[in-house]
Structure 1
Amino acid sequence: MQKQVTIIGSGIVGAVTAYYLSADPDLNVTIYDEGIGQATKNSAGIISPWLSKRRNQRWYQLAKAGAALYPEIVADTQMGYSVYQQAGTIVTREDPADLEALYQLALQRRADAPQMGTIEKLTAAEVADRIPLLTRAQPGVFVSGGARVDGDKFAHNLLKYAEKRNLVRHKGKVTLNEHGQLMTPHGQQNYDTLILAVGAWLKPLLLPMRMVAKVRPQKGQLIEFQLPETWADDVPVLMPEGERDFIPFTRSKLVVGATHENDQGYDLQVSPLVEEDLFASGQKLDANLTMDQISQVKVGTRAYTPDFSPFFGPIPDNPHILVASGLGSSGLTTGPMIGKLLADYVQTGHHDWNQYQLPVETYLEEAD
């Protein structure tokens, strides 16, 4: 008899989990998506965790593993270049000593992360040559294994792929009652395993069960430009010092962002002031940008924990309900590995996640 696995949330974690579980003929997999404020659909899409200065080694191991999963998933599902592009990333530093330190860090980390590929220290002129859009460039470190991903397209393609195997999709808001029963637009739905991959919305979803998730929402906005010129497919992503990330996508789409706004709650309104700030940041790098080239402004809500670490796994005293949250601005990097680990747990009942996170209980507590 098939076991019923129900996933709430179709962002990066939900989509990757569904992708892996849909290959199991012993499971009946269903996913629900409210589709509001999803960070995956509104993210910059940079996959390049190796030069981060974060001291959290658990986060780094998770991010490194997530980045390594992308080429495997992309190849298996035959996603096109418009979804995932391993064109490299450039991280800039103005001070020569800082640049050398960054270069040495890259060489050191490549020892246990061969997916980083080629490491090069570039002059400002060489950076400008790699990214022709730039009218102002700084020296930087190039990592050939860095990539950009269209999170919206990636999750959508994974779900379409899973639907061809063993996935049923539903739209609409769901809730839990005090007993952990799942209430949907179609009434109460039974499950053997429930996976809550709803990011910043985990806290209100768990409250009826008298459980508090230690997550807070963070608003993120970015702008997309549609430019008249085109460029080659291998133009790298730029992570500039002192400015917003600068992401040239296929041919003529440029993304600048994203912001990290801690005091806006679940607000999803576009802020004209933030749009102007993002534009000004982009124009400092490419002086030819104009406001009328902005094709859209995207707004999403990330989930953060007090220690900025993601968490995932079964909730205390209930192995049938799994959660995943707190991915922050690196969700597209850590999310694939979290989805794979959750799928492995559903199928085997076993896990060893100490290298990736603190115990889930660190981020969940009983309501007063």
Structure 2
Amino acid sequence: MHERYEAVVVGGGIVGSSTAYHLAQDGVETLLVDRRDEGRATDAGAGILSAATSSRGEPWFGFAAEAVAYYDDLVAALEIDQDGPHGYAERDLLRVAIDETEADRSDETLAEVREREAAAGPPREGSLAELTTEEARTAFPPLADVRRAFRYDDAARVDGRRFEGALRRASEARGLEMKDANAERLVVDGGSIEAVVVDGDRIETERVVVAGGAWSASFGDQLGVSIPIEPQRGQIVHLDVDADTTDWPIVSPFRGHYLVSWDDGRVAVGATRETGTGFAPHSTVAGLQEVLDEATRVAPGLAEASVREVRVGLRPVSADGLPVLGAVPDVEGAFVATGHGPSGLQLGPYSGKLVAGAVCGDDPDVLEPFGIDRF
């Protein structure tokens, strides 16, 4: 490890790893410092990529649509830059209504998705289609008798751990250096970044990106700003089913939980959204009951599945629910990239690209609504 770098990225989850990847792609001599805290959101997230079927409005939706579209370019680059798995795959998404109350909301949801697709350009033929109960269960055999269901075939899912690994391998090939260590302190002098203290060692740099996820707020005082980020605990249960799940779709019920199938006979079901629990990345009886009750309400055929593992992540949620991205006012060379909440895997790679651009002197207008000076 050198004593000086052009840039230091603090935090190695999906956002920090993407930022470091894009800096390395631009030829910036970069050090990625990652403490690998237990409960990182990247390690636990389900990775659903489908902005159009979200109920969130602007400015989140416009940013999310661009972020999901960016995956195509990034995945293509990673398939060239490294030879390991990246964990990304296109998948259909089933939006399902189990009871009459949910069914009553279906027409509104369908209209919103079509409106969003039309705003982005003419919808592809067949991208959105209503299914019968039999068709829905053929697609996802454990499913209940649904009142309404529609299939959206422009979604995808990503394994956060694998995607982070692919970004790091590609970055190393471009000269990125990484250190599993604690970034203890940022050294600011005369309104400019001068160094980062890493496990007691002073690392000289003029540019720092704070991408510490739920732990990012601890750097606020050093930068003279408030970084209003709190941890939101999410509990996710991974089930083993005795079936070939390769072509099973993502299932998105109306109550906000989900079922995400993977190619190895695994279905991830979740997730809780618990605030006020602090930095406590452990499962609870109440949380697991919530997750499993909803999973079996939507898909009673999962009742005989076995539990493979439970993952718990601490999502970084900002005071207004939007990401916190870009330069820190009044501190030359300081940048933040955090606050993605439950959509870190959806937004993170694109956020990293844009923040890396800002570090290199770009000033993308798309970051304006997400600046830290809004607080």
In the superposition, the TM-score normalised over structure 1's length comes to: 0.90
CA contact (8 A) 1:21 1:343 kept: yes
Distance 1:115 1:258, change over 3 A: farther
CA contact (8 A) 1:173 1:184 kept: yes
Q: How does 1:177-216 map to 2 (within 5 A)?
A: 177=186, 179=188, 181-185=195-199, 187-216=201-230
Distance 1:62 1:356, change over 3 A: farther
CA contact (8 A) 2:14 2:344 kept: yes
Distance 1:81 1:8, change over 3 A: closer
- How far apart in 1 are the matches of 2:103 and 2:302? 29
- In structure 2, the residue matched to 1:59 is 60
1:109 partnered with 2:116? yes
- In structure 2, the residue matched to 1:31 is 32
Which runs of 5 or more residues in structure 2 are unaligned?
none
* CA deviation string 1:244-292 (max 9, x = no partner): 2011111401100111001201111221331222122222233243587
1:330 partnered with 2:318? no
- In structure 2, the residue matched to 1:148 is 157
- How far apart in 2 are the matches of 1:154 and 1:295? 21
CA contact (8 A) 1:74 1:84 kept: yes
- In structure 2, the residue matched to 1:221 is 235
Which runs of 5 or more residues in structure 1 are unaligned?
364-368
- In structure 2, the residue matched to 1:175 is 184
Distance 1:332 1:113, change over 3 A: farther
- In structure 2, the residue matched to 1:83 is 87
- How far apart in 2 are the matches of 1:42 and 1:5? 28
The offset of 1:333, in angstroms, is 1.3
CA contact (8 A) 2:183 2:196 kept: yes
CA contact (8 A) 2:142 2:300 kept: no
- How far apart in 2 are the matches of 1:173 and 1:301? 18
2:135 aligned residue (89, 112, 126): 126
Distance 1:177 1:18, change over 3 A: closer
- How far apart in 1 are the matches of 2:123 and 2:318? 28
The offset of 1:116, in angstroms, is 7.4
SS state of the match for residue 148, structure 1?
strand
The offset of 1:301, in angstroms, is 0.8
SS state of the match for residue 69, structure 2?
helix
SS state of the match for residue 85, structure 1?
strand
CA contact (8 A) 1:116 1:144 kept: no
CA contact (8 A) 2:15 2:338 kept: no
The one-letter code of the counterpart of 2:73 is E
Distance 1:115 1:16, change over 3 A: farther
Identity of aligned residues (%): 25
Q: How does 1:1-368 map to 2 (within 5 A)?
A: 4-25=6-27, 27-36=28-37, 37-55=39-57, 57-78=58-79, 83-93=87-97, 94=100, 95-113=102-120, 117=124, 118-177=127-186, 179=188, 181-185=195-199, 187-231=201-245, 233-242=246-255, 244-290=257-303, 293-347=306-360, 349-354=361-366, 357-363=369-375
- In structure 2, the residue matched to 1:366 is none
The offset of 1:98, in angstroms, is 2.3
SS state of the match for residue 44, structure 1?
coil
CA contact (8 A) 1:178 1:209 kept: no
The offset of 1:112, in angstroms, is 3.4
* CA deviation string 1:129-171 (max 9, x = no partner): 2112324434222211111111111111111111111211110
- How far apart in 2 are the matches of 1:145 and 1:130? 16
- RMSD (Å), alpha carbons: 2.3
SS state of the match for residue 319, structure 1?
coil
Distance 1:177 1:193, change over 3 A: closer
The offset of 1:340, in angstroms, is 0.9
The offset of 1:81, in angstroms, is 7.7
The offset of 1:296, in angstroms, is 0.9
The one-letter code of the counterpart of 2:111 is Q
Distance 1:315 1:14, change over 3 A: same
* CA deviation string 1:307-350 (max 9, x = no partner): 21112011111230100121111111121221111111222x13
- How far apart in 1 are the matches of 2:116 and 2:240? 36
The offset of 1:83, in angstroms, is 0.7
Q: How many residues align?
A: 358
